[in-house]
Amino acid sequence: MPIITWRDANGSKTSIEVDPGANLMRAAVAAGIDGIYGDCGGALACATCHVVPDAAWAERVGPAGVMEDEMLDMVEGQRMPTSRLSCQLQARDDLEGLILDVPVAS
């Protein structure tokens, strides 16, 4: 099981083991990761699960799809070039050690 780390704006980190194939937004909500809400339940309709992959991971995580890109225009915080919605990310063994920054909503 890959270990995924969420890092808040203060630099505090929370790492959890996530089953391969599991949805990262659901894993974060279940673990009580602050700043990840998933109000739409992963339906790509709210942008309350915004994360920014650490720069070293951006290529491996990959870019947002067209619909996700449109939703990212609605994030409350600052959108970054590598921003993703965690509801669109699944755990994979090659993401072992992934760090996701959770931006502060403005």
Q: pLDDT by residue (tens digit) across 3-58?
A: 999 999 899 999 999 999 999 999 999 999 999 999 999 999 999 999 999 889 99
> Which pLDDT value is given to residue 105?
67
User: Letter for the amino acid at 53?
Assistant: P
Q: Is residue 92, in this structure, part of any structural domain at all? A: yes
Alpha-carbon gap, residue 32 to 47, rounded angstroms: 17
Cβ atoms of residues 103 and 77 within 8 Å? yes
User: 76 pLDDT band (50/70/90 cuts)?
Assistant: confident
Judged against a pLDDT cut of 50, whether residue 106 lies above it is answered with no
pTM: 0.93
Structural domain span for residue 33:
3-101
Q: Is residue 106, in this structure, part of any structural domain at all? A: no
Alpha-carbon gap, residue 27 to 22, rounded angstroms: 7
Q: Is residue 17, in this structure, part of any structural domain at all? A: yes
Q: Is residue 85 helix, strand or coil?
A: strand
